[in-house]
Each structure stands twice: as structure tokens, then as C-alpha cells.
């Protein structure tokens, strides 16, 4: 009779090392997934509301503001704003921002 179990012998230390490596890998994957789900949304209009923008053309009441290397059409809520003044974005409607001083 042939002893076929001797042909598939696996070193127990090799098995332990593989299992430990797999557990460590899965631990880091789970941590990465949890952190990804906890991050704040950084896209869309939610990101712009409350941010500061710099006036590029006078807002009287319409003009242009500069935020994150982009020019946006803007309307000031009340009053006027001169170039290089800082305004706060309060509303986003399509490609038009509503701002206030």
C-alpha cells in the first residue's frame, strides 16, 4: 500500500505564517474600508457651501468669483462687493453661486 499522505505534507510553521499574514492583511483592509466610509463628501455643491471665494469682477449684484482655481458666476445676496474682497458661498444653483459678505 502506498502512503500518499507523506506526499502532501505541509510544514506547520509555513501554515502558521500564511494564516498570520492573511489575518494582518484582512485587518488592514477592514481599517481602510472603515476610514473610507467615514470621510466627508468632497464633491458637488455640498463642498462649496460655506467656503470663501474671492471676487474677481464687481458683484453688483452679478459678477464673477474665484474659488479653487475656477471662475464662477455669482450673485450677491445683498449690497455689493468689489474685486479682491472675500465672500462666503451660501447657495449653489447649477453653475451660479449665491454669496454674501
Task: Give me the average pLDDT of each 10-residue run along the chain (101 residues).
Answer: 62 92 97 89 73 92 90 90 92 90 86
DSSP string, 7-37: GG---HHHHHHHHHHHHHHHHHHHHHHHHHH
Extract the C-alpha cell encoding 31. 481599517
Pairing of strands 96-100, 62-67: unpaired
Q: Is residue 93 helix, strand or coil? A: strand
Residue 9: the pLDDT is: 75
Residue 101: the pLDDT is: 86
Extract the C-alpha cell encoding 2. 502506498
| Domain boundaries along the sequence of the chain | 4-38, 45-100
Distance set, CA 78 to CA 21, 56, 60, 81, 87 (Å): 62, 17, 9, 9, 12
- Identify the CATH number of the domain defined by range 45-100: 2.40.50.140
Residue 78: the pLDDT is: 86
Amino acid at each position: 500500500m502506498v502512503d500518499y499522505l507523506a506526499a502532501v505534507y505541509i510544514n506547520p510553521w509555513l501554515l502558521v505564517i500564511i494564516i498570520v499574514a492573511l489575518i494582518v492583511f484582512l485587518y488592514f483592509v477592514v481599517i481602510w474600508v472603515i476610514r473610507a466610509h467615514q470621510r466627508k463628501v468632497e464633491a458637488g455643491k455640498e463642498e462649496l457651501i460655506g467656503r470663501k471665494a474671492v471676487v474677481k469682477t464687481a458683484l453688483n449684484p452679478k459678477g464673477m468669483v474665484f474659488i479653487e482655481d475656477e471662475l464662477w458666476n455669482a450673485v450677491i445676496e445683498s449690497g455689493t462687493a468689489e474685486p479682491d474682497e472675500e465672500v462666503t458661498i451660501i447657495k449653489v444653483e447649477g453653475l451660479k453661486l449665491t454669496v454674501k459678505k
